[in-house]
Amino acid sequence: MKKKDLILILVLVLISVAGLAAAGFLQKDEGAAVVVTVDRQEYGRYPLSEDRTIEVSDEAGRNVIVIKNGQVDVTEADCPDKICVDHAIIRYDHETIVCLPHKLVVEIVGGDTSDVDVTTR
């Protein structure tokens, strides 16, 4: 083993460590997101980690979606059945809350997987 061999190996190790760190950093930035879809069109995409209140209102109706502590809930709606409001909070990957009268779908993408429920695709 010569000196240049060692330098080559060292440089390669450094490149890959830097690459792994960069990849980890980039992927962390994305994180889990809450996707709101109205009538099959994506209405908005919000990070699950940030608390916020989203009001979706159009001619079909009005819904208020609350993201808090990594959980999503529909708190208000002017639909007749209020199934979306009564729906339990969601927090895991692929979980959804649907408001059929308003054609509204709230889904979590890229989140943690639930220990209990599994979604098959």
Partner 1 sequence: MTKKLTVSALLVALAMILSYLETLIPFNFGLPGVKLGLANLVVVCALYLLDTRSAFLISMVRILLIAFTFGSLAALLYSLAGGLISFAVMALLRRNEGFSVIGVSVAGGVTHNIGQLLAAVLIVENLNLFFYVPVLIIAGLITGLLIGIISKYVIPPVKKAVRQM
- Pattern 22-51, partner 1, x by CB under 8 A: -x--x-------------------------
* Calculated CA dihedral for residues 7, 11, 12, 14, nearest 10 degrees: 140
Residue 116 within binding range of partner 1, rule CB under 8 A: no
Q: How far apart are the first and last CA of the chain?
A: 51
Question: Is residue 59 at the binding interface for partner 1, with CB under 8 A as the rule?
Answer: no
Supply the DSSP symbol for 89: P
3-state secondary structure of 17: helix
Q: Which of residues 8-27 bind partner 1 (CB under 8 A)?
A: 8-9, 12-13, 15-20, 23, 26
Which spans of this chain sit near partner 1 (rule: CB under 8 A)? 1-5, 8-9, 12-13, 15-20, 23, 26
